[in-house]
Structure 1
């Protein structure tokens, strides 16, 4: 990786002007301890071997790359390939960083892991990882998301996690983050707040990215072996941005590869019902770090919306913000309707039911394929499967 992209973040946790630790001094001490512990343990052979062993024999890595022949024929134009993170144990990419954070918590001697979740994928993965390492796990989740993502709620309870329903604010992901953080600050010496995306104060954006980079590393090797070249375009959904930064980072130095992050336009960019942070947001501070955020002119965080609970967040990871300003990653959006169309199309054409979050990326790939020539290739990161969304979509569409 070139030095331009390889030195992110700096020692203070900044990606350019984004990131950092915009937190009280006592919390900075706690974050620095986590950072020091992470830097220590990640360089040990025992940690690396244990994590790789779990990725291979527990998660089922490497996840395959699948050529979506029928979808390609339907759309015309570029050939569409799919990175099948939906086949991971627990059904999404989240398990990649949850295992790493659970092992870190065990290494640090923590007595409880606290996490937030929107769509429930991070909650299930964190509950799974904690069950594996033998640590109590507490998951904070907005009551709207609890009702919407009931299958994942059931899984978390079966795995032994304590579920904390969040009734404040919009009762969705942003408020779940606030609730989890409030619990964490009660005892940061003994608790670990395992953040569910590449967001929050340093070292979490770096740490989550590092664990998720396995997606891009596998993809490079697999695609080169199959096609003898790199993909022309890589597409991934962006909420907080963990699956996308995990995929993109390996390809940042490859200027021939067009990187596209797809965020939720919701009911339309011309309405308040969206979570298109990169498209409509301004520079601000959220949850202890600097990023683009959806906020009013006074800097107050705006309520956001997406049909995909895991993308329903008013900020975005600091590395994404930096890459937007650099122009290295192109950030687009897809509406609820485009997402639902992609959800049904992929299900019925390829027999793959995607998570609503991932369906945003599929929607953009379907759109882009028609614009690109047949000699071009698109690789979509299918970050999760749609088991959790099946009942909701069926009711929503009256299927």
Structure 2
């Protein structure tokens, strides 16, 4: 795909050494871009706009920051255009990716090209520059595999580890890597490339192995972004399909807390060079799918219909991040409570989607968006 600049401000921005955000029109990328532009940085977004709805995020960013946001519509697999976008960047946040396990199973070659070759394109663009440009990479908890060896017990509506250490703290960075599904392989390989470019070439890279991030500007689907997807279906009065028994547990983190972690990794790039951190809400924000649905029913004030289907490949029964290392090394604050954050996302989604009044939130939660 041939890259093209869509902003008249781009040449000026490029001269000012912008922060490059690949996948910057996506959910986390757009929140990162907004944060940095608000702080007074120039931001160059590199995005193929392949995910439905992300063009609205780009329009929103340009309206909010007309003199700070520039964009290149391009494919991360295009080595030449990636190198051009990275030419003058002062820092790179590499968020562009194929993000769904299901898609990787139907088209593993594209998954490989985007997640591995695309990441190598970004890394090598920085290597060939010959200077120390920080790169922060969005990895995933899927690098740890399905965690089938973690012994679990089912208590009411959630799985819990039998091991007190795992139950109290979660899964730590010392956990052996174990790639499952093409998506796990591609993101895991990219994860390791990013860490090795710090070892081999001295590039100040850092890896964030994310659990479930949710929040404003997330247009979740059944394949990725489950918290927002559940809310969207519920607000539209449509059934939610649960794959498995619904007792699988994840720790969830509001995107504002994720952005703070990424920003801190950049500011501390020398100290965290070549290191990987598990990033999530931790044990205090660990919930099962069933528990989220119960809370959604409380938020919207009506029952939610659920449909059950077979487990999907590579799905972890239990994953909760041990956040102690990231909290200590990145200086992170206490994350937003999932109860508060989900209510805020529900209010934002209702306002964003323009749902009919009959599907509106209870009046007590109309201003929940402001809580975040």
TM-score, length basis structure 1: 0.29
Q: Which has the higher contact order (CA 8 A, sep 6+)?
A: 1
